[in-house]
Structure 1
Amino acid sequence: MTFEELKPKVQDILSNSSILRDEKLLKICHLLKDNISYYDWVGFYFRNGEKEELILGPYAGAPTDHTIIPFGKGICGQVAVSNKNFVVPDVQAQDNYIACSFTVKSEIVIPLFVNGENIGQIDIDSNVLDPFTKEDELFLEFVNSEISKLFL
């Protein structure tokens, strides 16, 4: 399924008033993981209140031990500080990478902003080396833009 075909499906999930926010986020995770062949783990991390750490939210994929990530640590922790997209074509080449699984080859993390504040991020791991393109970034920015409306 193409990114353009997925966009209305994302909007349909998010506009469903009969399910709670975390269930919507979980459905988004499964939608992306099930329809984009190289998205092997899809999840959300959110700022843990005023603490400088991220806490794991809904996700689809193998269980992870990384339920809390300090700001600055790993790719997710770096995005929490930089407020910028981070595409890692080869996780082996990253000094500050937290390995979730030996099968993960690449990662993309896109911050989630609400009223200009970085409240979390979508994190995607791939078992494929260097699969992420500018189109992935643009699509995930769209997803996060739509999700941000749930927090207003």
Structure 2
Amino acid sequence: MTFERLKSQVESIISKTTLTVNDRLLDICRLLENQVEYYNWVGFYFRNGTKEELILGPYVGAPTDHTVIPFGKGICGQVALSNTNFVVPDVTLQDNYIACSITVKAEIVIPIFVKGQNIGQIDIDSNSPDPFTEADERFLEFVCTKVSQIL
């Protein structure tokens, strides 16, 4: 499925106001993990109030022990500080990578902004080496912009 076709499905999920925010986020995770072959783990992390840490939100994929991530630690923690996208084509080449599974080969993390503040991110792991392109980045930025509207 193309990213353009997925955009309308993301918008449809976002517009379902009868569902809780967490249910809509989980539905987005399910959609992405099911429709993009190389998205093997899809989840959201959010800033834990005023603490300098992220807490795991809705996700799909293998269970993870990484439910709290300090700012600066791992790819997600680095994005919490940098406020920029982080694409990792090969996780074995990252010194500050937090290994979730031995099957993960690549990761992409895109921040979510609400009123100019980085409040969280979407995190995607892939079991394929170097699968992410600029099209993935633009699509996931779109997803994060839509998600920011319901937070």
Q: Using the aligned pairs only, state the percent identity.
A: 69
- 1:33-112 paired onto structure 2 within 5 Å: 33-112=33-112
Distance 1:112 1:66 in 2: 19
Distance 2:141 2:44 in 1: 13
Structure 1, unmatched stretches of 5+, are none
The count of residues paired between Structure 1 and Structure 2 equals 151
Distance 1:110 1:17 in 2: 24
Distance 2:26 2:62 in 1: 14
Task: Quote the residue 1:140 is aligned against.
Answer: 140
Structure 2, unmatched stretches of 5+, are none
Q: Secondary structure at the match of 2:150?
A: helix
- Residue identity matched to 2:89: P
Task: Quote the residue 2:24 is aligned against.
Answer: 24
Shift of 1:74: 0.1
Distance 1:32 1:12 in 2: 14
The root-mean-square deviation of aligned C-alpha atoms, in Å, is 0.3
4+ long deviations beyond 4 Å: none
- Residue identity matched to 1:41: W
Q: Secondary structure at the match of 1:110?
A: strand
Distance 1:133 1:17 in 2: 32
Distance 1:68 1:139 in 2: 26
Shift of 1:17: 1.2
Instruction: Provide the TM-score with structure 2 as the length reference.
Output: 1.00
Task: Quote the residue 2:113 is aligned against.
Answer: 113
